[in-house]
Structure 1
Amino acid sequence: MGGLFGRVVSGNNLNEVVENRTNLSVQTLNGVRLSKRVAVGGLVGLDWYTGALLTPVGVGARYQFTRPSDQNLSAFVSADAGYGFSWFDKSSTGYIVRGGLMLNPGVGIRLGKPGRGGFTVTFSYKRQEAQVEKPLRWGEIKRDETRIYNRLSIRVGVSL
């Protein structure tokens, strides 16, 4: 569970608005440990962006780059990839949101002895694509948008 942090530019050249955005992200990765340093698995989550609720589904890998030992602290890198679906998105504005490609590389630390449960803190970059179909207004022929959510993700979690 964590936050997605970024800046958004919207509007046109005459009336451009830049805003900070903070959104909630929840994700679980379940898989297998291939060795003492490598783990892979499937992931599913929910990302609440201001204009869309997306459900990323994909695969993830974790590589512990510090030597496994009896220490309570270890560092790792992560790589997740998949597709963000809009299954649970409901719009009161008549917008139709369709998901897209999701990429999420990062680094993190794990607190806890090897072979036992522990806590994780991960810092990553999250890129999520989405397509939005908007209802036409008078005199318009197209209002569709391609959105690319670029966010810094900070998550805390539990590792078993």
Structure 2
Amino acid sequence: MPTIFKFLWMGFILAHTIDSLRAQAPTFKPHYVNMTEVGGLFGRVVYDVPGSVPATQQVENRLSLTIQTFNGIQLKPRLALGVSCGVDWYQAVLLAPVAAGVRYDLARSKKNVTLLGLFDAGYSSNWLHVDATDYKTQGGMMLNPGLGLKFGFKSGSALVLSLSYKRQNAKVTKPLNWGEIEKWEDRVYNRMALRLGMMF
């Protein structure tokens, strides 16, 4: 058999083999995904002691409740894009962040445990918060990067344990004292968020 026909025959066999393997491989279809979590926000707070002369500051540990749900589309086997919304109960303010979110599978073990990368960026609103007389609270920018462990079940759902850094801005306008024109406080909440939840 001439050499050219041998190469053509080998190319035909190779193309047929690749086509057969593609037909056997499962095809991925984008689908809806939900990840709902509850947990705590851990941090340390520095604040001025009222009425102290000279002015002194106090440092305290704080723990706040946080609830969050992520709703999106699993675009690829390892990548999901969507929107997250939630509620964060700080001591002096109740904020409801809404953000664009990414969930990405970084690595997976043979026992169906996945290392998950998380990132949310958005804005927190005050629509659930109630201000005291002459106070006005406004939300601000929010960033929330982190890592999680996803423990997969045969049903397709998973248990998720995540640890992330959460930075949230807020502004509080306060009642005026004698001779004051304006009085406000910019707040930056820096917290470590430890959450437990389910992913469907």
> Any runs of at least 4 consecutive aligned residues in structure 1 with deviations exceeding 6 A, and if so which?
none
Question: C-alpha displacement at 1:118, in angstroms?
Answer: 1.2
**Residue in structure 1 matched with residue 66 of structure 2 by the alignment:** 25
Question: Which has the larger displacement, 11-20 or 81-90?
Answer: 11-20
**Residue in structure 2 matched with residue 5 of structure 1 by the alignment:** 42
Letter in 1 for 2:196: V
Q: What TM-score comes out, normalization by structure 2 length?
A: 0.75
114 and 56 in structure 1: CA distance in 2 versus 1, 3 angstrom threshold: farther
**Residue in structure 2 matched with residue 135 of structure 1 by the alignment:** 175
What stretches of structure 1 of length at least 5 have no aligned partner?
none
Match of 2:163 among 123, 134, 148: 123
More strand by share: 1
Matched, 1:86 2:126: yes
**Residue in structure 1 matched with residue 117 of structure 2 by the alignment:** 77
Question: C-alpha displacement at 1:92, in angstroms?
Answer: 2.6
Aligned residues: 159
Cα distance in 2, alignment partners of residues 138 and 114 from structure 1:
66
Q: What TM-score comes out, normalization by structure 1 length?
A: 0.93
User: Which string of whole-angstrom CA distances, capped at 9 and with x for unpartnered residues, describes residues 48-87 of structure 1?
Assistant: 11111111011110110114x7633111110000100001
Cα distance in 2, alignment partners of residues 54 and 14 from structure 1:
29
Question: C-alpha displacement at 1:35, in angstroms?
Answer: 0.8
2:47 is paired with a residue of what secondary structure? strand
What stretches of structure 2 of length at least 5 have no aligned partner?
1-37
